[in-house]
Chains A and B, each alone.
Chain A
Protein backbone atom coordinates (compact mmCIF):
# COMPACT_ATOMS: atom_id res chain seq x y z
CA UNK A 1 0.00 0.00 0.00
CA UNK A 2 1.37 3.36 -0.99
CA UNK A 3 0.22 6.09 1.36
CA UNK A 4 0.95 9.77 1.54
CA UNK A 5 -0.02 13.27 2.43
CA UNK A 6 -0.47 16.00 -0.13
CA UNK A 7 0.08 19.50 1.20
CA UNK A 8 -1.65 18.48 4.43
CA UNK A 9 -1.88 20.94 7.29
CA UNK A 10 -3.40 20.76 10.73
CA UNK A 11 -4.49 23.77 12.68
CA UNK A 12 -6.32 23.68 16.01
CA UNK A 13 -7.75 27.10 16.74
CA UNK A 14 -4.96 29.53 15.98
CA UNK A 15 -2.18 27.02 16.63
CA UNK A 16 -0.60 25.34 13.63
CA UNK A 17 0.49 21.80 14.44
CA UNK A 18 1.48 20.75 10.93
CA UNK A 19 2.60 23.11 8.19
CA UNK A 20 1.89 22.08 4.58
CA UNK A 21 3.47 18.66 4.36
CA UNK A 22 3.81 16.25 1.49
CA UNK A 23 5.02 12.73 2.19
CA UNK A 24 5.03 9.61 0.08
CA UNK A 25 5.56 6.27 1.80
CA UNK A 26 6.42 3.37 -0.49
CA UNK A 27 4.60 0.02 -0.18
CA UNK A 28 6.07 -2.44 2.34
CA UNK A 29 8.57 0.13 3.52
CA UNK A 30 9.82 0.93 6.99
CA UNK A 31 9.63 4.65 7.66
CA UNK A 32 11.11 6.28 10.73
CA UNK A 33 9.69 9.59 11.89
CA UNK A 34 12.59 11.13 13.74
CA UNK A 35 12.17 14.33 15.68
CA UNK A 36 12.26 15.84 19.15
CA UNK A 37 9.23 15.79 21.45
CA UNK A 38 6.34 17.99 20.27
CA UNK A 39 7.78 18.12 16.77
CA UNK A 40 4.59 16.70 15.22
CA UNK A 41 5.45 13.01 14.81
CA UNK A 42 2.30 11.80 16.52
CA UNK A 43 0.15 14.33 14.67
CA UNK A 44 1.55 13.16 11.33
CA UNK A 45 0.66 9.59 12.25
CA UNK A 46 -2.83 10.60 13.28
CA UNK A 47 -3.26 12.33 9.93
CA UNK A 48 -1.99 9.28 8.06
CA UNK A 49 -4.32 6.84 9.79
CA UNK A 50 -7.38 9.06 9.84
CA UNK A 51 -7.70 9.79 13.56
CA UNK A 52 -7.33 13.48 12.71
CA UNK A 53 -8.57 15.15 9.58
CA UNK A 54 -6.18 17.61 7.93
CA UNK A 55 -7.36 21.24 7.98
CA UNK A 56 -6.30 21.58 4.37
CA UNK A 57 -4.68 19.18 1.93
CA UNK A 58 -5.29 15.51 1.21
CA UNK A 59 -4.45 12.05 2.48
CA UNK A 60 -4.23 9.40 -0.19
CA UNK A 61 -3.83 5.63 -0.33
CA UNK A 62 -2.87 4.03 -3.64
CA UNK A 63 -3.99 7.13 -5.53
CA UNK A 64 -7.40 7.13 -3.84
CA UNK A 65 -8.29 10.20 -1.80
CA UNK A 66 -9.10 9.01 1.73
CA UNK A 67 -9.22 12.42 3.38
CA UNK A 68 -12.02 12.32 5.93
CA UNK A 69 -12.54 8.56 5.69
CA UNK A 70 -13.07 7.34 9.26
CA UNK A 71 -10.33 5.34 10.90
CA UNK A 72 -12.83 2.48 11.27
CA UNK A 73 -12.95 2.07 7.50
CA UNK A 74 -9.19 2.24 7.09
CA UNK A 75 -6.87 -0.72 7.15
CA UNK A 76 -4.56 0.46 9.93
CA UNK A 77 -3.10 -0.72 13.23
CA UNK A 78 -1.45 1.43 15.86
CA UNK A 79 0.73 1.04 18.93
CA UNK A 80 0.86 3.93 21.35
CA UNK A 81 3.67 5.14 23.54
CA UNK A 82 1.60 4.44 26.65
CA UNK A 83 0.63 0.82 27.08
CA UNK A 84 -2.91 1.01 25.75
CA UNK A 85 -4.94 -2.18 26.13
CA UNK A 86 -8.54 -2.89 27.06
CA UNK A 87 -8.19 -3.23 30.84
CA UNK A 88 -11.35 -5.28 31.27
CA UNK A 89 -10.45 -7.87 28.59
CA UNK A 90 -8.07 -10.77 29.09
CA UNK A 91 -4.87 -10.81 27.06
CA UNK A 92 -6.46 -13.30 24.67
CA UNK A 93 -9.54 -11.12 24.15
CA UNK A 94 -7.35 -8.06 23.75
CA UNK A 95 -5.42 -9.62 20.91
CA UNK A 96 -8.52 -11.19 19.39
CA UNK A 97 -10.61 -8.02 19.46
CA UNK A 98 -9.61 -6.54 16.04
CA UNK A 99 -10.17 -9.95 14.42
CA UNK A 100 -13.59 -10.36 16.06
CA UNK A 101 -14.64 -6.95 14.76
CA UNK A 102 -13.44 -7.93 11.31
CA UNK A 103 -15.63 -11.03 11.38
CA UNK A 104 -12.87 -13.62 11.23
CA UNK A 105 -13.98 -17.18 12.01
CA UNK A 106 -13.44 -18.51 15.52
CA UNK A 107 -10.89 -21.13 14.52
CA UNK A 108 -8.92 -18.59 12.51
CA UNK A 109 -8.92 -16.13 15.38
CA UNK A 110 -7.61 -18.78 17.75
CA UNK A 111 -4.85 -19.81 15.38
CA UNK A 112 -3.72 -16.26 14.65
CA UNK A 113 -3.87 -15.09 18.26
CA UNK A 114 -1.76 -18.03 19.43
CA UNK A 115 0.69 -17.56 16.60
CA UNK A 116 1.31 -13.88 17.30
CA UNK A 117 1.37 -14.47 21.07
CA UNK A 118 4.04 -17.09 20.58
CA UNK A 119 6.05 -14.77 18.38
CA UNK A 120 6.00 -12.08 21.09
CA UNK A 121 6.45 -14.66 23.85
CA UNK A 122 3.27 -13.85 25.72
CA UNK A 123 1.61 -17.19 24.97
CA UNK A 124 1.73 -18.14 28.65
CA UNK A 125 -0.22 -15.06 29.68
CA UNK A 126 -3.30 -15.32 27.50
CA UNK A 127 -5.74 -15.84 30.38
CA UNK A 128 -4.46 -12.92 32.46
CA UNK A 129 -5.66 -9.31 32.59
CA UNK A 130 -3.33 -6.58 31.28
CA UNK A 131 -3.10 -4.86 34.67
CA UNK A 132 -1.52 -7.99 36.16
CA UNK A 133 1.43 -7.82 33.77
CA UNK A 134 4.65 -5.84 33.65
CA UNK A 135 5.10 -2.82 31.38
CA UNK A 136 7.09 -4.80 28.84
CA UNK A 137 4.44 -7.49 28.67
CA UNK A 138 1.66 -4.91 28.38
CA UNK A 139 3.41 -3.30 25.43
CA UNK A 140 3.83 -6.75 23.89
CA UNK A 141 0.06 -7.19 24.07
CA UNK A 142 -0.45 -3.85 22.35
CA UNK A 143 2.06 -4.93 19.69
CA UNK A 144 0.38 -8.30 19.32
CA UNK A 145 -3.00 -6.65 18.80
CA UNK A 146 -1.53 -4.38 16.15
CA UNK A 147 0.30 -7.23 14.40
CA UNK A 148 -2.49 -9.81 14.48
CA UNK A 149 -4.67 -7.56 12.36
CA UNK A 150 -2.20 -7.71 9.47
CA UNK A 151 -3.18 -4.18 8.51
CA UNK A 152 -1.48 -2.71 5.52
CA UNK A 153 -0.48 0.37 7.50
CA UNK A 154 1.19 -0.21 10.86
CA UNK A 155 1.89 2.84 13.02
CA UNK A 156 4.13 2.71 16.07
CA UNK A 157 4.34 5.87 18.14
CA UNK A 158 7.50 5.65 20.23
CA UNK A 159 6.50 2.15 21.32
CA UNK A 160 9.64 1.46 23.34
CA UNK A 161 10.12 4.78 25.09
CA UNK A 162 8.35 3.81 28.32
CA UNK A 163 10.29 0.58 28.71
CA UNK A 164 13.51 0.13 30.61
CA UNK A 165 16.81 -0.05 28.76
CA UNK A 166 17.22 -3.84 28.63
CA UNK A 167 13.66 -4.50 27.48
CA UNK A 168 13.94 -1.78 24.89
CA UNK A 169 17.03 -3.34 23.31
CA UNK A 170 15.43 -6.75 23.30
CA UNK A 171 12.12 -5.64 21.85
CA UNK A 172 13.81 -3.45 19.25
CA UNK A 173 15.72 -6.45 17.92
CA UNK A 174 12.50 -8.44 17.70
CA UNK A 175 10.67 -5.58 16.03
CA UNK A 176 13.30 -5.31 13.35
CA UNK A 177 12.86 -8.98 12.49
CA UNK A 178 9.08 -8.62 12.55
CA UNK A 179 9.10 -5.59 10.25
CA UNK A 180 11.30 -7.39 7.76
CA UNK A 181 8.94 -10.35 7.63
CA UNK A 182 5.82 -8.24 7.06
CA UNK A 183 4.07 -7.00 4.01
CA UNK A 184 2.90 -3.67 5.30
CA UNK A 185 3.88 -0.07 5.35
CA UNK A 186 5.39 0.56 8.78
CA UNK A 187 5.70 4.03 10.29
CA UNK A 188 7.79 4.20 13.43
CA UNK A 189 8.19 7.39 15.46
CA UNK A 190 11.19 7.94 17.68
CA UNK A 191 13.19 10.73 19.26
CA UNK A 192 16.42 8.75 19.28
CA UNK A 193 18.82 8.96 16.31
CA UNK A 194 20.38 5.68 17.44
CA UNK A 195 17.06 3.89 17.17
CA UNK A 196 16.55 5.20 13.64
CA UNK A 197 20.00 3.98 12.63
CA UNK A 198 19.41 0.57 14.19
CA UNK A 199 16.10 0.05 12.42
CA UNK A 200 17.29 1.32 9.06
CA UNK A 201 14.71 1.86 6.33
CA UNK A 202 13.76 5.41 5.46
CA UNK A 203 13.86 8.34 7.79
CA UNK A 204 11.70 11.46 7.77
CA UNK A 205 13.18 14.12 9.99
CA UNK A 206 10.35 16.06 11.61
CA UNK A 207 10.75 19.30 13.48
CA UNK A 208 8.38 22.11 14.40
CA UNK A 209 5.49 20.67 12.40
CA UNK A 210 7.48 20.23 9.19
CA UNK A 211 9.18 17.32 7.48
CA UNK A 212 12.68 18.69 7.03
CA UNK A 213 14.20 15.84 5.07
CA UNK A 214 13.17 12.40 3.86
CA UNK A 215 15.25 9.59 2.43
CA UNK A 216 17.09 6.38 3.26
CA UNK A 217 18.18 6.57 6.90
CA UNK A 218 21.90 6.29 6.17
CA UNK A 219 21.75 9.00 3.52
CA UNK A 220 19.91 11.39 5.81
CA UNK A 221 22.43 10.70 8.56
CA UNK A 222 25.38 11.23 6.25
CA UNK A 223 24.05 14.23 4.40
CA UNK A 224 21.74 16.23 6.67
CA UNK A 225 20.20 18.81 4.37
CA UNK A 226 20.33 21.50 6.98
CA UNK A 227 21.86 22.40 10.29
CA UNK A 228 18.56 21.58 12.02
CA UNK A 229 18.44 18.06 10.55
CA UNK A 230 22.01 17.57 11.71
CA UNK A 231 21.01 18.66 15.20
CA UNK A 232 17.96 16.36 15.34
CA UNK A 233 19.89 13.42 13.92
CA UNK A 234 22.81 13.63 16.33
CA UNK A 235 22.82 12.59 19.95
CA UNK A 236 24.56 14.25 21.75
CA UNK A 237 24.08 17.37 19.59
CA UNK A 238 26.61 18.12 16.88
CA UNK A 239 29.38 20.57 17.73
CA UNK A 240 28.52 23.74 15.84
CA UNK A 241 30.98 26.54 15.34
CA UNK A 242 31.19 29.64 13.19
CA UNK A 243 34.07 29.67 10.75
CA UNK A 244 35.42 31.87 7.98
CA UNK A 245 36.97 30.68 4.73
CA UNK A 246 39.72 32.94 3.45
CA UNK A 247 42.57 32.33 1.06
CA UNK A 248 42.50 28.54 0.83
CA UNK A 249 42.00 27.84 4.53
CA UNK A 250 39.25 28.03 7.08
CA UNK A 251 39.49 29.76 10.44
CA UNK A 252 37.13 28.20 12.96
CA UNK A 253 36.08 30.15 16.02
CA UNK A 254 39.03 32.04 17.35
CA UNK A 255 41.88 30.78 15.28
CA UNK A 256 41.52 27.06 14.67
CA UNK A 257 43.02 26.60 11.19
CA UNK A 258 41.50 23.93 8.98
CA UNK A 259 43.10 23.30 5.57
CA UNK A 260 40.64 23.06 2.69
CA UNK A 261 41.24 19.48 1.56
CA UNK A 262 39.01 16.58 0.54
CA UNK A 263 35.33 17.47 0.57
CA UNK A 264 36.15 20.99 1.71
CA UNK A 265 38.10 21.81 -1.47
CA UNK A 266 36.63 24.65 -3.44
CA UNK A 267 34.66 26.36 -0.66
CA UNK A 268 34.30 29.97 -1.68
CA UNK A 269 35.31 32.72 0.71
CA UNK A 270 32.74 33.64 3.32
CA UNK A 271 31.34 32.75 6.70
CA UNK A 272 29.95 29.25 7.31
CA UNK A 273 28.65 27.18 10.19
CA UNK A 274 30.82 24.13 10.80
CA UNK A 275 29.45 20.99 12.38
CA UNK A 276 31.17 17.89 13.64
CA UNK A 277 29.61 14.97 15.50
CA UNK A 278 30.95 14.30 18.97
CA UNK A 279 32.19 10.82 18.06
CA UNK A 280 34.63 12.38 15.61
CA UNK A 281 36.48 14.19 18.33
CA UNK A 282 39.09 11.98 19.95
CA UNK A 283 41.56 12.23 22.79
CA UNK A 284 44.29 10.58 20.72
CA UNK A 285 45.66 11.23 17.27
CA UNK A 286 44.18 8.85 14.74
CA UNK A 287 45.38 10.41 11.50
CA UNK A 288 48.23 12.62 10.43
CA UNK A 289 45.84 15.32 9.23
CA UNK A 290 44.04 15.55 12.60
CA UNK A 291 43.83 19.05 13.98
CA UNK A 292 44.75 19.60 17.59
CA UNK A 293 42.45 21.54 19.88
CA UNK A 294 44.03 22.53 23.17
CA UNK A 295 41.65 23.45 25.91
CA UNK A 296 40.54 22.83 29.44
CA UNK A 297 37.98 20.35 30.70
CA UNK A 298 34.70 22.00 31.56
CA UNK A 299 32.76 18.88 32.38
CA UNK A 300 32.99 15.10 32.11
CA UNK A 301 29.56 13.54 31.64
CA UNK A 302 29.21 9.79 31.98
CA UNK A 303 26.40 8.41 29.84
CA UNK A 304 26.13 4.65 30.03
CA UNK A 305 29.37 3.17 28.78
CA UNK A 306 30.45 6.43 27.19
CA UNK A 307 31.88 9.66 28.51
CA UNK A 308 31.23 13.10 27.03
CA UNK A 309 34.04 15.56 27.66
CA UNK A 310 33.21 19.24 27.33
CA UNK A 311 36.36 21.09 26.33
CA UNK A 312 36.64 24.87 26.31
CA UNK A 313 38.96 26.28 23.68
CA UNK A 314 39.22 30.01 23.08
CA UNK A 315 35.72 30.60 24.33
CA UNK A 316 34.22 27.81 22.22
CA UNK A 317 32.89 24.68 23.88
CA UNK A 318 33.58 21.36 22.14
CA UNK A 319 32.08 18.03 23.14
CA UNK A 320 34.04 14.84 22.52
CA UNK A 321 32.54 11.39 22.92
CA UNK A 322 34.86 8.78 24.39
CA UNK A 323 34.37 5.07 24.85
CA UNK A 324 34.31 3.73 28.38
CA UNK A 325 33.82 5.43 31.71
CA UNK A 326 36.60 7.93 32.19
CA UNK A 327 37.27 10.56 34.81
CA UNK A 328 38.35 14.08 33.96
CA UNK A 329 39.37 16.78 36.39
CA UNK A 330 37.61 20.08 35.86
CA UNK A 331 39.94 22.76 34.45
CA UNK A 332 42.62 20.19 33.54
CA UNK A 333 44.44 20.96 30.31
CA UNK A 334 43.38 18.57 27.57
CA UNK A 335 44.10 18.10 23.88
CA UNK A 336 41.46 16.74 21.53
CA UNK A 337 41.89 15.83 17.90
CA UNK A 338 39.46 16.28 15.06
CA UNK A 339 39.84 15.19 11.47
CA UNK A 340 38.94 17.82 8.87
CA UNK A 341 37.33 15.01 6.86
CA UNK A 342 34.54 14.83 9.45
CA UNK A 343 33.31 18.41 9.11
CA UNK A 344 29.85 19.30 7.84
CA UNK A 345 29.65 22.79 6.40
CA UNK A 346 26.40 24.75 6.41
CA UNK A 347 25.86 28.21 5.00
CA UNK A 348 24.43 31.13 6.98
CA UNK A 349 20.85 30.01 6.28
CA UNK A 350 21.61 26.53 7.63
CA UNK A 351 21.62 24.69 4.28
CA UNK A 352 24.24 22.00 3.71
CA UNK A 353 27.25 23.09 1.63
CA UNK A 354 29.63 20.19 2.12
CA UNK A 355 29.35 16.83 3.88
CA UNK A 356 32.03 14.26 4.66
CA UNK A 357 32.66 11.92 1.74
CA UNK A 358 31.69 8.29 2.17
CA UNK A 359 29.69 9.04 5.23
CA UNK A 360 30.57 10.12 8.68
CA UNK A 361 29.23 6.77 9.83
CA UNK A 362 32.50 5.20 8.80
CA UNK A 363 34.90 5.43 11.71
CA UNK A 364 37.84 7.74 11.05
CA UNK A 365 40.33 4.94 11.78
CA UNK A 366 39.17 3.06 8.69
CA UNK A 367 39.67 6.11 6.54
CA UNK A 368 43.23 6.43 7.76
CA UNK A 369 44.13 2.83 7.05
CA UNK A 370 42.69 2.94 3.58
Chain B
Protein backbone atom coordinates (compact mmCIF):
# COMPACT_ATOMS: atom_id res chain seq x y z
CA UNK B 1 0.00 0.00 0.00
CA UNK B 2 2.79 2.38 0.97
CA UNK B 3 4.56 1.90 -2.33
CA UNK B 4 1.36 2.52 -4.24
CA UNK B 5 0.71 5.80 -2.40
CA UNK B 6 4.19 6.98 -3.24
CA UNK B 7 3.83 5.95 -6.86
CA UNK B 8 0.57 7.83 -7.01
CA UNK B 9 2.20 10.93 -5.59
CA UNK B 10 5.04 10.74 -8.06
CA UNK B 11 2.70 10.28 -11.00
CA UNK B 12 0.69 13.31 -9.90
CA UNK B 13 3.88 15.32 -9.53
CA UNK B 14 5.06 14.28 -12.97
CA UNK B 15 1.71 15.17 -14.51
CA UNK B 16 1.85 18.63 -12.95
CA UNK B 17 5.41 19.06 -14.19
CA UNK B 18 4.64 18.01 -17.70
CA UNK B 19 1.33 19.82 -17.98
CA UNK B 20 2.70 23.15 -19.30
CA UNK B 21 4.99 21.36 -21.71
CA UNK B 22 2.16 19.20 -22.91
CA UNK B 23 -0.02 22.28 -23.33
CA UNK B 24 2.68 23.94 -25.40
CA UNK B 25 2.93 20.84 -27.59
CA UNK B 26 -0.84 20.78 -27.80
CA UNK B 27 -1.00 24.39 -28.98
CA UNK B 28 1.89 23.98 -31.39
CA UNK B 29 -0.11 21.40 -33.31
CA UNK B 30 -3.23 23.55 -33.71
CA UNK B 31 -4.18 26.60 -35.70
CA UNK B 32 -4.75 29.91 -33.96
CA UNK B 33 -8.48 29.78 -34.72
CA UNK B 34 -8.67 26.33 -33.17
CA UNK B 35 -6.69 27.39 -30.07
CA UNK B 36 -8.91 30.38 -29.45
CA UNK B 37 -12.07 28.64 -30.50
CA UNK B 38 -12.28 25.63 -28.21
CA UNK B 39 -10.73 24.11 -25.11
CA UNK B 40 -9.38 20.69 -26.01
CA UNK B 41 -7.12 18.53 -23.92
CA UNK B 42 -6.62 16.30 -26.93
CA UNK B 43 -6.39 18.45 -30.04
CA UNK B 44 -8.91 17.60 -32.72
CA UNK B 45 -7.54 19.27 -35.86
CA UNK B 46 -3.83 18.45 -35.95
CA UNK B 47 -1.62 20.58 -38.16
CA UNK B 48 2.10 20.84 -38.70
CA UNK B 49 1.77 24.23 -40.36
CA UNK B 50 3.44 26.03 -37.45
CA UNK B 51 6.50 23.83 -37.65
CA UNK B 52 6.59 24.06 -41.41
CA UNK B 53 6.62 27.83 -41.14
CA UNK B 54 9.60 27.77 -38.77
CA UNK B 55 11.59 25.38 -40.92
CA UNK B 56 10.97 27.27 -44.15
CA UNK B 57 11.14 30.91 -43.10
CA UNK B 58 14.84 31.97 -42.92
CA UNK B 59 13.98 34.63 -40.33
CA UNK B 60 12.86 31.77 -38.05
CA UNK B 61 15.33 28.99 -38.58
CA UNK B 62 18.29 31.35 -38.68
CA UNK B 63 17.38 32.20 -35.07
CA UNK B 64 18.03 28.60 -34.13
CA UNK B 65 21.22 28.50 -36.15
CA UNK B 66 22.46 31.71 -34.51
CA UNK B 67 21.73 30.38 -31.06
CA UNK B 68 23.45 27.07 -31.75
CA UNK B 69 26.47 28.84 -33.23
CA UNK B 70 27.13 31.14 -30.32
CA UNK B 71 26.29 28.48 -27.73
CA UNK B 72 28.79 26.06 -29.31
CA UNK B 73 31.41 28.79 -29.55
CA UNK B 74 30.85 29.66 -25.93
CA UNK B 75 31.03 26.04 -24.75
CA UNK B 76 34.25 25.46 -26.65
CA UNK B 77 35.93 28.65 -25.40
CA UNK B 78 34.74 28.02 -21.85
CA UNK B 79 36.24 24.54 -21.81
CA UNK B 80 39.49 25.58 -23.47
CA UNK B 81 40.11 28.36 -20.97
CA UNK B 82 38.70 26.60 -17.91
CA UNK B 83 40.73 23.38 -18.32
CA UNK B 84 44.17 24.97 -17.72
CA UNK B 85 42.76 27.29 -15.06
CA UNK B 86 41.12 24.45 -13.17
CA UNK B 87 44.32 22.42 -13.42
CA UNK B 88 46.30 25.28 -11.91
CA UNK B 89 43.82 25.69 -9.05
CA UNK B 90 43.78 21.98 -8.39
CA UNK B 91 47.52 21.29 -8.57
CA UNK B 92 49.47 24.41 -7.59
CA UNK B 93 49.64 26.62 -4.55
CA UNK B 94 50.31 30.24 -5.41
CA UNK B 95 49.85 33.62 -3.80
CA UNK B 96 46.14 34.34 -3.39
CA UNK B 97 44.98 31.14 -5.06
CA UNK B 98 42.00 30.68 -2.76
CA UNK B 99 40.95 34.31 -3.07
CA UNK B 100 41.16 34.12 -6.81
CA UNK B 101 39.09 30.97 -6.89
CA UNK B 102 36.43 32.68 -4.81
CA UNK B 103 36.63 35.83 -6.91
CA UNK B 104 35.86 33.74 -9.99
CA UNK B 105 32.68 32.59 -8.33
CA UNK B 106 31.63 36.08 -7.31
CA UNK B 107 31.30 36.84 -11.02
CA UNK B 108 28.26 34.63 -10.95
CA UNK B 109 26.79 36.50 -8.02
CA UNK B 110 26.39 39.85 -9.78
CA UNK B 111 23.16 40.33 -11.72
CA UNK B 112 23.86 40.30 -15.48
CA UNK B 113 22.04 43.60 -15.95
CA UNK B 114 24.87 45.34 -14.10
CA UNK B 115 27.24 44.45 -16.91
CA UNK B 116 24.85 45.20 -19.70
CA UNK B 117 25.62 48.84 -20.43
CA UNK B 118 29.42 48.57 -20.14
CA UNK B 119 29.31 45.50 -22.34
CA UNK B 120 27.18 47.22 -24.94
CA UNK B 121 29.53 50.20 -25.11
CA UNK B 122 32.65 48.04 -25.23
CA UNK B 123 31.31 45.77 -27.92
CA UNK B 124 30.15 48.75 -30.01
CA UNK B 125 33.57 50.31 -29.76
CA UNK B 126 35.18 47.15 -31.06
CA UNK B 127 32.54 46.71 -33.73
CA UNK B 128 31.41 43.40 -32.37
CA UNK B 129 27.72 44.18 -32.11
CA UNK B 130 25.56 41.68 -33.98
CA UNK B 131 28.23 38.98 -34.23
CA UNK B 132 28.07 35.47 -32.80
CA UNK B 133 31.40 35.83 -31.09
CA UNK B 134 30.14 38.85 -29.13
CA UNK B 135 27.40 36.82 -27.47
CA UNK B 136 29.73 33.87 -26.95
CA UNK B 137 32.31 36.08 -25.22
CA UNK B 138 29.75 37.84 -23.05
CA UNK B 139 28.46 34.50 -21.78
CA UNK B 140 31.98 33.54 -20.71
CA UNK B 141 31.46 35.87 -17.78
CA UNK B 142 29.18 33.26 -16.22
CA UNK B 143 30.34 30.06 -17.80
CA UNK B 144 34.10 30.21 -17.21
CA UNK B 145 33.80 30.51 -13.41
CA UNK B 146 31.27 27.70 -13.36
CA UNK B 147 33.42 25.52 -15.61
CA UNK B 148 36.53 26.16 -13.51
CA UNK B 149 34.60 25.32 -10.37
CA UNK B 150 33.22 22.04 -11.72
CA UNK B 151 36.45 20.93 -13.41
CA UNK B 152 38.54 21.73 -10.36
CA UNK B 153 36.42 19.31 -8.35
CA UNK B 154 36.88 16.55 -10.87
CA UNK B 155 40.61 17.19 -11.27
CA UNK B 156 41.23 17.16 -7.54
CA UNK B 157 39.74 13.68 -7.53
CA UNK B 158 42.66 12.47 -9.67
CA UNK B 159 45.69 11.67 -7.52
CA UNK B 160 48.58 14.07 -8.03
CA UNK B 161 50.88 11.05 -8.21
CA UNK B 162 49.51 10.25 -11.66
CA UNK B 163 50.87 13.58 -12.91
CA UNK B 164 54.24 12.87 -11.35
CA UNK B 165 54.24 9.33 -12.68
CA UNK B 166 53.72 10.71 -16.17
CA UNK B 167 56.57 13.22 -15.78
CA UNK B 168 58.84 10.44 -14.52
CA UNK B 169 57.83 8.35 -17.53
CA UNK B 170 58.90 11.24 -19.73
CA UNK B 171 55.60 12.75 -20.83
CA UNK B 172 55.73 16.36 -21.89
CA UNK B 173 53.11 18.55 -20.27
CA UNK B 174 50.71 18.90 -23.25
CA UNK B 175 51.01 15.23 -24.10
CA UNK B 176 50.30 14.19 -20.52
CA UNK B 177 47.31 16.52 -20.38
CA UNK B 178 45.74 15.30 -23.59
CA UNK B 179 46.48 11.58 -23.49
CA UNK B 180 46.48 10.80 -19.77
CA UNK B 181 44.66 13.50 -17.86
CA UNK B 182 41.73 14.47 -20.08
CA UNK B 183 40.49 10.86 -20.44
CA UNK B 184 40.45 10.63 -16.64
CA UNK B 185 38.15 13.61 -16.24
CA UNK B 186 36.02 13.14 -19.35
CA UNK B 187 32.90 12.80 -17.22
CA UNK B 188 33.66 16.19 -15.73
CA UNK B 189 34.26 17.71 -19.13
CA UNK B 190 30.93 16.33 -20.36
CA UNK B 191 29.05 17.69 -17.38
CA UNK B 192 30.79 21.06 -17.69
CA UNK B 193 29.95 21.27 -21.36
CA UNK B 194 26.34 20.55 -20.51
CA UNK B 195 26.16 23.32 -17.92
CA UNK B 196 27.83 25.83 -20.26
CA UNK B 197 25.44 24.83 -23.02
CA UNK B 198 22.36 25.22 -20.86
CA UNK B 199 23.31 28.58 -19.38
CA UNK B 200 24.20 30.02 -22.74
CA UNK B 201 21.14 28.54 -24.42
CA UNK B 202 18.61 30.07 -22.01
CA UNK B 203 20.37 33.41 -21.52
CA UNK B 204 18.39 36.16 -23.21
CA UNK B 205 19.48 39.55 -21.87
CA UNK B 206 23.00 39.70 -23.34
CA UNK B 207 22.06 37.73 -26.41
CA UNK B 208 19.31 40.16 -27.31
CA UNK B 209 21.16 43.34 -26.46
CA UNK B 210 24.33 42.52 -28.33
CA UNK B 211 22.61 41.43 -31.54
CA UNK B 212 20.32 43.08 -34.06
CA UNK B 213 19.69 40.91 -37.11
CA UNK B 214 22.60 38.73 -38.22
CA UNK B 215 23.19 36.97 -34.91
CA UNK B 216 19.72 37.26 -33.44
CA UNK B 217 18.97 34.40 -31.02
CA UNK B 218 15.82 32.34 -31.30
CA UNK B 219 14.36 33.77 -28.10
CA UNK B 220 14.48 37.23 -29.64
CA UNK B 221 12.97 35.98 -32.88
CA UNK B 222 10.09 34.60 -30.89
CA UNK B 223 8.99 38.11 -30.00
CA UNK B 224 8.00 38.47 -33.65
CA UNK B 225 4.85 36.50 -32.87
CA UNK B 226 3.51 39.52 -31.06
CA UNK B 227 1.99 41.98 -33.49
CA UNK B 228 -0.69 44.63 -33.68
CA UNK B 229 -3.13 41.99 -34.88
CA UNK B 230 -2.57 39.87 -31.77
CA UNK B 231 -0.45 36.89 -30.77
CA UNK B 232 0.41 34.00 -33.05
CA UNK B 233 -0.11 31.35 -30.36
CA UNK B 234 0.52 28.26 -32.43
CA UNK B 235 3.76 29.55 -33.90
CA UNK B 236 5.02 30.67 -30.50
CA UNK B 237 4.28 27.24 -29.01
CA UNK B 238 6.01 25.44 -31.88
CA UNK B 239 9.10 27.62 -31.46
CA UNK B 240 9.03 26.92 -27.73
CA UNK B 241 8.91 23.16 -28.29
CA UNK B 242 11.86 23.38 -30.66
CA UNK B 243 13.87 25.33 -28.05
CA UNK B 244 13.45 22.48 -25.58
CA UNK B 245 14.77 19.86 -28.02
CA UNK B 246 18.54 20.63 -27.91
CA UNK B 247 18.54 20.76 -24.10
CA UNK B 248 16.63 17.51 -23.87
CA UNK B 249 19.10 15.86 -26.25
CA UNK B 250 22.10 17.00 -24.22
CA UNK B 251 20.50 15.87 -20.97
CA UNK B 252 19.91 12.45 -22.53
CA UNK B 253 23.62 12.10 -23.24
CA UNK B 254 24.87 13.15 -19.82
CA UNK B 255 22.01 11.72 -17.74
CA UNK B 256 24.25 9.22 -15.94
CA UNK B 257 26.66 11.90 -14.78
CA UNK B 258 24.13 14.52 -13.71
CA UNK B 259 24.24 13.71 -9.98
CA UNK B 260 28.03 13.97 -9.98
CA UNK B 261 27.84 17.14 -12.00
CA UNK B 262 25.45 18.85 -9.64
CA UNK B 263 27.77 17.94 -6.78
CA UNK B 264 30.42 19.73 -8.89
CA UNK B 265 32.63 16.66 -8.90
CA UNK B 266 32.86 16.71 -5.15
CA UNK B 267 31.37 13.30 -4.51
Contact = CB atoms under 8 A, between A and B. Distances in A.
A42 to B, nearest CB: 11
Given A82-B159, A82-B161, A84-B159, A70 B167 contact: yes
A77 B167 contact: no
Interface stretch (A97-105, A261-269, A306-314, A345-353): A97-105
A71 B162 contact: no
Interface string B153-178: 00000010110111111111000000
A176 to B, nearest CB: 23
A71 B168 CA distance: 6
B180 A84 contact: no
B26 to A, nearest CB: 47
B247 interface: no
B184 interface: yes
Interface of B is mostly: helix
A85 B159 CA distance: 10
Contact of A72 (B161, B162, B167, B180): B167
B181 to A, nearest CB: 9
Contact of A98 (B162, B164, B169, B172): B169
Interface string A84-96: 1111110000000
Contact of B168 (A77, A86, A88): A77
A49 interface: yes
B113 to A, nearest CB: 43
Contacts of A98: 168-170
B169 A101 contact: yes
Contacts, number: 48
B166 to A, nearest CB: 8
Contacts of B161: 80, 82, 84
Contacts of B180: 86, 88-89
B183 A78 contact: no
A76 interface: yes
A41 interface: no
A88 B186 CA distance: 11
A89 B165 CA distance: 14
28 contacts: A51-B164, A51-B167, A51-B168, A70-B167, A71-B164, A71-B168, A72-B167, A72-B168, A72-B171, A78-B168, A80-B161, A80-B165, A82-B159, A82-B161, A84-B159, A85-B165, A86-B162, A86-B165, A86-B166, A87-B184, A88-B183, A88-B184, A89-B180, A97-B169, A98-B168, A98-B170, A101-B169, A101-B170
CB-CB nearest 4 A-B residue pairs: A101-B170, A88-B183, A98-B169, A84-B161
Interface of A: 49, 51, 70-72, 76-78, 80, 82, 84-89, 97-98, 101-102, 145, 149
Given A72-B168, A86-B166, 8 more contacts: A76-B168, A80-B165, A84-B165, A85-B165, A88-B183, A98-B170, A101-B169, A102-B170
